[in-house]
Structure 1
Amino acid sequence: MADRTAKEGQLRAASGHRRITGETIVALASGRGRAGIAVLRASGPRAGDCLKALGGGRALDLPRRAVLAKLRDPQDGTFLDQALVLWFPGPASFTGEDVAEFHVHGGPAVIEGVLGALRRCEGVRLARPGEFSRRAFEHGRLDLSAAEGLLDLIAAETPAQRDQALRQMGGALAERVEAWRSRLLAARARIEALLDFADEDLPEEDTLLVRVENELATLAEEIAAALADARRGERVRSGLRVVLAGPPNSGKSSIINWMAKEEVAIVSPEPGTTRDALEVRLELAGMVVRMMDTAGLRSAGGAIEQEGMRRARRHAREADLCLMVHDLTAPMLDRQGHGISDGGVAAWRVWNKCDLDSRTPPGRRGDGEYVVSARTGAGLDLLMADLESWAARAATAGESAIVTRARHREALEDTTEAIDAARRHLMGADLVLTAEELRRASDALGRITGRVGVEDMLDALFGEFCIGK
């Protein structure tokens, strides 16, 4: 016990932690609904008082160990539950503050009873969405990119999303960014040293400038390589988009229904039945793949159908892959692309209704060309297998992506722009502007981890979390 207490003291001293005199927050940290166990969390200066008030005070002598306790309402002594309680003294806790956890039975009456008793404790209020994670960020327990990784982990639907989120939580992005930032700061320090001793004849000045130029060139190459990732990180996080496009009655909706294994799209022989995009989410090769059924493309149609076709073309231009679906039995004139593939998006051709044309067997007719029957399912298993292989390649090509959000990409692009400007000024022997551009580059990197200029986006980011996180 003495060793543990001493270690707690060392952690407090090493982190510069001090007890915060603000509010203590409480919330349900696990999901709502009936469950075997529910976890309620309190964080702040009165977290220990909450434990004592409800009858779990013995845990204060046993940090990070589960203690069985009979929880009672401090107001009237009502027995609420027999639960496990845990005590995490700050700064060695998730938030960096004193934290108490109550592992109670997961029935609604128990949860509401314990949560209500906690909220009635002095100086305690219900947490806002993401407030626990925001406190962790503000106490230095999480950098901003790790907080984003935590948010992505909570939202992860597939193994690929889970693995990427865990890498980011573990520092895959932050470590790389901080290493780049340290090198930029070192280069800037060399330039500013030359400015400070501008009146002196430094024999190593030329050598120093060459070293700075070489370092900046290497940094620019490394950051460019991280950006040249075909947006894999963003695609893993948000899912791949596959759009089914083509003329009316070519069978797009029937194919979507076959893929979803349920009737999600209305199927009718009447042209123009699908007016707006309909999305079905599938998991292929550990990736979320968003399959979109779109309005049929033709020259005729009323105002509403024309708007549907405009949206269909837009979705196709923004897709990762476009499946151009055609009726194998239709006249050649009805097999036009209607400008759908003009945007450079990868496109596969799917010839449907081979069950009505005995001359054309189902299967793969070439690279990215398939003959299928949505009515019988013939050829669709092969199409799905190739879609799964395509999704796997899209997720795993090259090394693991570190850029997972548009915010990261924008900051790295700003960094590259500033480094290029610094190199131009360096070649022109303008050391003042060189130092300023290096400051701008390091600040851009600092935005990724939250070191610099992120106050305006913190509310938006942490507002995406659930209340108990």
Structure 2
Amino acid sequence: MWPALRGGRLVARNPAVSRVCCRLYCETAERDTIFALSSGQGKCGVAVIRTSGPASRLALLRLTGAKELPPPRTAALRRIRGPQSAETLDHSLVIWFPGPGSFTGEDSAEFHVHGGPAVITGVLHALGALPRLRFAEPGEFTRRAFQNGKLDLTAAEGLGDLIHAETEGQRRQALRQMDGDLGRLYQRWSDTLTKTLAHVEAYIDFSEDDNIEEGVLSQAEDAVEILEKELRAHLQDSRRGERLREGVHVVIAGPTNAGKSSLLNHLCQKPAAIVSPVAGTTRDVVEAALDIGGFPVVLSDTAGLRDTSDIVEMEGVTRARQRVRGADLVLVVLDAAELARQPSRLTLALLDILPPDEPEGSRLCLLVLNKSDLLGEQGRADLLGVCAKPGLPPACLLSCRTGEGIPAFLSVLRGQLSHMCGDPLTGSPTPTQARHRLSLTKCLEALGRFGQYRDEDLALAAEELRQARRQLGQLTGQVGAEEILELIFRDFCIGK
């Protein structure tokens, strides 16, 4: 049944199988062996250099001078020598991973050398001097793992996100995606579409011959309806997965001299922005990336919102309003002492900062009342009472000058971020990238057209099912476009 290698040729009973196997064999035999430093750059105790490809066996034997390979997946202490000079480069641990039982599915070797730059450079140069070995491109190890069926495309993306994860929430989400939760969900939907399409095509081809069971077409329609509901629910996630991957865009906005830059410095725990009693000090957007409660935040301090004739400040106000419109969460900072004197101006102040053309409740907002140290106990109580009216955002009373109220504000902010991002370990996995949302949206649109065509032209309806299945296939890599692969793997680090 399986092809055999006879006289240097692959032979199989089935000519089609023989052609496919010959092509795969030739691609594997001619494929370069890649190598790269897979651990971080810079001085370290141990550095890992990895190879993958058919010449990995040769590389391991030549650099160690051994006649036999160490037992698979077992660390062995070996002397590393230059292949031409036979000079000792290092004493290191080596591990042999025969394919397909390796990360890439190919023969692979690892050299765990001392992490000095000279040692690393020497071993890399030694590998580069061997025939059929070349330096790996960014993401090429993971790309080979995908091409050899060790990972689907969503799992490969999860691996890339895990490498770049900076917060606990990002790590959890990336690990879950790398474990295949998202890929299995999309694969289940793809399998459902495959089965449904088969039933529809069978009905088209054989319904007139009475060879089809009754109710096949209605079963296909029911399956599509259920899938549409699942897709809509999956897409109605408020972009939780994307926010967790890319960071929640939080914008600090408000009038001049309300304490916006002081709040930014408190959150950053460093003087990231200039603080001055002069109104209009901040002219441009000041950004900072933070980890707040395990959630990634892209925090933006903006220019004070007011009418001005200064051309530079006018541009700053314009940019501030643009950031507010694109924000996931707006921290509206107001002067508590000034507001306490005129509490009726609270609604007007919010309308001046938040876009008035958006539906009520469409944007998350948190009201930050700064300069609470200028108020007495009764003034604080009265102000919080005004802010507790229905329809107003949650309010936090604090003082950037004394630090009073900052811990309570951070607790409320963490709660907002948790609500926006959710717990990546619970519930159904969510889309984490824009390409996921785009393909799922196109899939849902195709399923909608299936419903339109099923009573008019069943052949057109079947074509819409194929389009929907193709969109799901692009998510897992079953239906691949080269530009999609380039886009995904180009952001990987070299050596992974």
Match status 1:393 vs 2:393: no
Q: In the aligned structure 2, how far is the partner of 1:208 from the partner of 1:461?
A: 40
SS at match of 1:329: helix
C-alpha contact (below 8 Å) 1:54/1:74 kept by paired residues:
yes
Partner of 1:5: none
From 409, 412, 433, the equivalent of 1:383 is 409
Counterpart Cα distance in 2 of 1:203 and 1:232: 44
- Report the counterpart of residue 465 of structure 2 in structure 1: 438
Amino acid at match of 1:423: G
Q: Give the superposition deviation at 1:441.
A: 0.5
Paired residues of 2:224 and 2:447 also in contact (CA < 8 A):
yes
Give 1:396 deviation, angstroms: 2.3
Task: Choose from 341, 349, 369 the match for 1:336.
Answer: 349
Work out whether residues 56 and 85 of structure 1, in 8 Å CA contact, stay in contact via their aligned partners in 2: no
2:80 to 71, 78, 81: 71
Equivalent residue runs for 1:258-407 within 5 Å: 258-330=266-338, 336-337=349-350, 338-342=352-356, 343=358, 344-358=362-376, 360-361=379-380, 366=388, 368-396=394-422, 399-407=427-435
**Do residues 196 (structure 1) and 196 (structure 2) align?**
no
Whether 1:416 aligns to 2:429 is no
Alpha carbons of structure 1 residues 449 and 57: separation in structure 2 relative to 1, 3 Å? farther
SS of residue matched to 1:60: coil
State how 1:107-122 maps to structure 2 within 5 Å.
107-122=116-131
For the residues of structure 1 that align with 2:88 and 2:70, how far apart are their CA atoms?
23
Amino acid at match of 1:422: F
Q: Map residues 132-151 of structure 1 onto 2, 5 A cutoff.
A: 132-151=141-160
Q: What is the rounded CA distance, in whole Å, between the counterparts of 1:86 and 1:381 in structure 2? A: 50
Q: In structure 2, how many angstroms separate the alpha carbons of the residues matched to 1:229 and 1:174?
A: 17
Question: What's the CA shift string for 1:192-245, capped at 9, x where partnerless?
Answer: 11222254245734x111111111111111111111111111111112122110
After superposition, the C-alpha distances for 1:376-411 in whole angstroms (9 at most, x for unaligned) are: 111222111111122222232672433111111111
Secondary structure of 2:438 counterpart: helix
Q: Deviations over 1:111-156 (max 9, x none)?
A: 1111111111112111111111111111111111111000000011
Partner SS state of residue 377, structure 1:
coil
Q: Given residue 351 of structure 1, which amino acid in structure 2 is its aligned partner?
A: L
Shift of 1:429: 4.7
Q: Which amino acid is 2:317 matched to?
A: M
Q: Which of these residues, 228, 240, 245, is aligned with residue 232 of structure 1?
A: 240
Between 66-75 and 391-400, report the one with greater CA deviation.
Answer: 391-400
Aligned residue number for residue 11 of structure 1:
none
Question: d(CA) in 2 for partners of 1:274 and 1:137?
Answer: 48
CA deviation digits over 1:247-272, x for unaligned, max 9?
11110000111121111111112222
* Aligned-pair CA distance for 1:61: 4.4
Number of residue pairs the alignment of both structures matches: 453
Residue 72 of structure 2 corresponds to residue 46 of structure 1:
no
Q: Distance in 1 between matches of 2:68 and 2:91?
A: 14
Confirm whether residue 209 of structure 1 aligns to residue 217 of structure 2. Answer: yes
C-alpha distance in 2 between matches for 1:204 and 1:423: 21
Where 1:375 maps in the other structure, the secondary structure is coil
**Aligned mates of 1:64, 1:215 — CA distance in 2:** 46
The change in CA–CA distance for 1:138 and 1:56 in structure 2 (over 3 A counts) is farther
Q: State the secondary structure of the residue aligned to 2:337.
A: coil
Structure 2 counterpart of 1:171? 180
Q: Distance in 1 between matches of 2:371 and 2:301?
A: 17
Residues 70 and 76 of structure 2 are in contact (CA less than 8 Å); yes or no, is this contact kept in structure 1?
no
Report SS of the residue matched to 2:114. Answer: strand
Contact 2:36 2:136 in 1 (8 A): yes
Q: Find the counterpart in structure 2 of residue 257 from structure 1.
A: 265
Contact map agreement 1:59 1:86 (CA 8 A) in 2: no
CA distance in 1, matches of 2:296, 2:309: 34
Q: Which residue of 1 aligns with 2:254?
A: 246
User: Mean Cα displacement is larger for which, 449-458 or 196-205?
Assistant: 196-205
Instruction: Name the CA shift for 1:277/1:401 in 2 (closer, same or farther; >3 Å).
Output: farther
TM-score w.r.t. length of structure 1: 0.91
**Structure 1 residue 186: Cα displacement:** 0.8
What letter corresponds to residue 243 of structure 2 in structure 1? R
Q: Which residue of 2 aligns with 1:219?
A: 227
Name the CA distance, whole Å, in 2 between partners of 1:451 and 1:349: 48
| C-alpha spacing 1:122/1:378, structure 2 compared with 1 (3 Å) | same
In structure 2, C-alpha distance between the alignment counterparts of 1:301 and 1:373, rounded to whole Å: 31
Offset at 1:185? 0.9
Give 1:83's aligned amino acid: S
Which amino acid in the other structure matches residue 405 of structure 1? Q
Which residue identity does 2:54 align to in structure 1?
Answer: P
Deviation at 1:91, TM superposition (A): 1.6
Question: Could you say which residue in structure 1 is the equivalent of 2:8?
Answer: none
Q: Which residue of 2 aligns with 1:3?
A: none
Distance 1:400-1:193 versus aligned 2 partners, 3 A rule: closer
CA distance in 1, matches of 2:220, 2:321: 49
- The one-letter code matched in structure 1 to 2:438 is E
Classify the secondary structure of the residue corresponding to 1:414: helix
**Alpha-carbon distance in 1 for matches of 2:401, 2:190:** 58
Aligned with 2:451: secondary structure?
Answer: helix
SS in 2 for 1:195: helix
Deviates more, 1:196-205 or 1:454-463: 196-205
Secondary structure in structure 1 of the residue aligned to 2:257: coil
Contact 2:332 2:353 in 1 (8 A): no
Q: Distance in 1 between matches of 2:125 and 2:212?
A: 73
Q: Secondary structure at the match of 1:31?
A: coil
Q: 1:154 & 1:307 partners in 2: Cα distance?
A: 38
User: What TM-score comes out, normalization by structure 2 length?
Assistant: 0.87
Match for 2:254: what amino acid?
G
Structure 1, residues 26-55: CA drift from partner, whole Å, max 9, x if none? Answer: 110000111111000111111111111111
- Superposed displacement of residue 432, structure 1: 0.3
1:127 match: 136
Q: For 1:359-383, what per-residue CA distance to the aligned partner results, in whole angstroms no more than 9, with x for missing partners? A: 5348965461122211111122211
Which consecutive unaligned segments of at least 5 residues does structure 1 have?
1-15
Amino acid at match of 1:352: N
Using the TM superposition, name which of 295-304 and 177-186 deviates more. Answer: 295-304
Q: C-alpha displacement at 1:181, in angstroms? A: 0.7
